[in-house]
Amino acid sequence: MVRIVSVLTLGVLALGLVPAAASCPEDALGTARELRIDALSMPQVGRKHFPGTLPLAPKEVVLTFDDGPWPGTTDRVLDALKRECVRASFFLVGRNVAAHPALARRALAEGHTIGNHTYSHPLLNQMPLEKAEAEIARGFAAIDTALYGQPLAAPATPFFRFPGFASSPALLDRLQQKGVVVFGADLWASDWNPMTAVQTLGLVLGRLDAAGGGIVLFHDTQPHTAGMIPEFLRELKRRGYRVVHVVPTKRFAAPTVR
């Protein structure tokens, strides 16, 4: 019986579909499909910063969150995603992961993709190349240590986003050589600015409708973002949007920690 279930599960994943969780309510937004990518085919994605983006159909969205984890806001975002059975990508800051590892482990355990947003959030294009690379590597090491108990020879999830989108041609080349996909965005909520949850919701929905879908950037450290995410997810369902969950092409087997 176990073998039959395993075969069925593999078949579903091969089709790019995400099995519905047993606890999901019937009216939940859900996650429509899974999209696997790697640096060979898609080294940089997001039209705000790069020529191309993910191969999404009209009204498909990829939800991404930067700068966490942060107590009081990241957990509220995770609660909202869980209620709607939605999977997102979190680009974490290494020093925040080191300070709040349980939140990072919760995001991973609930099926979200965990990417790197450096260790201390500097503007990397203003640093010497070697120092910038070390900052990126330290971020990956902090994340993998929190999630898997040790730094890994290669990142468990080779996804990265530049703080402030401050990339450089040399760093982009180095990351591609190392098999790391660099995420930009197709639109954002501008939630780094002071505003209310209602204002954030109206702004991002207007931009999303204008774009017709794409990679959406939020910050899970912002209280107004955490406050609007439940209504945002319900509004996605009402407006006919579908959520796509992005994962690495190669599945990662976590090491055994003793």
Residues involved in catalysis: 66, 219
**Which helix (H) or strand (E) is 70 found in, with range?**
none
- What type of residue sits at position 114? I
Buried/exposed code over 118-142 (b: 16+ C-beta within 10 A; e: otherwise): bbebeebbebeeeebbebbbbbbbb
Q: Calculate the alpha carbon distances from 136 to 88, 180, 186, 229 in Å.
A: 21, 11, 23, 29
With residue 114 as reference, give the H or E element that holds it.
Answer: strand 113-116
Residue 67 is given by DSSP the state: S
Residue 109's Cα: distance from chain center in Å? 14
